[in-house]
Structure 1
Amino acid sequence: MITSQNIFYHELIGLDTSIVQSSNNQLVGLSGKILDETKSMFFIQTVTGVKMIPKNYSTWQFHIDGMPVSVNGNTIMKRSYERMGVKA
């Protein structure tokens, strides 16, 4: 079960997210569902199509159990299996 304390160790694909802070002001407010991720990018399904957004330089917000959880993109700059501690 994903909680605000362990979100860093979980799969993020399928979660709804939004960018609440970014060094690129054009990204602030972008929201959608995470379709895929690489070490440094999220592929987000937005209302205008799929966007490839770098993880770093932004603060991402997820809603876990109805509560907003903000995550600095630099802390999740790993592949999903690396965050989970699993070797590929």
Structure 2
Amino acid sequence: MITADNITSHEFIGLDTEIIQSTNSQVVGLNGRITNETKSMFTINTENGSKSIAKSTNSWKFSIQGKDVIVKGTKIAKRSFDRIGGRA
């Protein structure tokens, strides 16, 4: 089960997210469901279609068990199986 403490060790595909801080001010507030993940990018299904966004230049908000959790992109800019397999 995903919790606020272990979120960085889990799969992000299927989670809803919002960019709350970014080096690119145009993407702050972008939100939607993560539909794909690579080492350095999330693909997010937004109201305006799919967007591919770099992980590392943003801070991401997730709602886990009713709590908002903020994750810095630099902490998750790895391949998902590297994070999940404990090599993070």
| TM-score interval (norm. to shorter) | over 0.9
Q: Secondary structure at the match of 1:3?
A: coil
Matching of residue 82 in structure 1 with residue 82 in structure 2: yes
Paired residues for 1:46-61 under 5 Å: 46-61=46-61
Paired residues for 1:29-68 under 5 Å: 29-68=29-68
Q: Please give the per-residue CA displacement for 1:35-68, whole angstroms capped at 9, x wherever unaligned.
A: 0000000000000000000001110000000110
What percentage of aligned pairs have identical amino acids? 54
Unaligned regions of 5+ residues in structure 2, if any?
none
Matching of residue 11 in structure 1 with residue 19 in structure 2: no
Letter in 2 for 1:85: G
| Preserved contact between residue 9 and residue 86 of structure 2 (Cα < 8 Å) | no
Scaled by the length of structure 2, the TM-score of the pair is: 0.95
How many residues are aligned here? 87
Report deviation, 1:85: 1.1
* Superposition RMSD in Å: 1.2
Scaled by the length of structure 1, the TM-score of the pair is: 0.95
Report deviation, 1:86: 6.7
Report deviation, 1:23: 0.8
Q: More deviation in 67-76 or 78-87?
A: 78-87
Unaligned regions of 5+ residues in structure 1, if any?
none
Please give the alpha-carbon distance, in whole angstroms, between the structure 1 residues aligned to 2:84 and 2:57. Answer: 22
